[in-house]
Amino acid sequence: SRGLGDVYKRQLERVLQGLSLKHRIIYFTYLAYKPDKDKNIPRSVSNKLQEQLELTQASIRVYRKEATDLVNNYINKVNGNK
Give the pLDDT score at 15: 85
Condensed to tens digits (0 to 9), the pLDDT of residues 19-73 reads 999 999 999 999 898 767 677 899 999 999 999 999 999 999 999 999 999 988 8
Query: How many angstroms separate the CA atoms of 50 and 40, rounded?
Result: 14
Judged against a pLDDT cut of 90, whether residue 75 lies above it is answered with no
Instruction: Show the DSSP H helices in 18-56 as ranges.
Output: 21-33, 43-53
Query: How many angstroms separate the CA atoms of 57 and 11, rounded?
Result: 30
Q: How many helices and strands in the chain, by DSSP H and E?
A: 4, 0
Query: How many angstroms separate the CA atoms of 1 and 69, rounded?
Result: 31
Of residues 74 and 24, more confidently modeled: 24
Give the pLDDT score at 35: 66
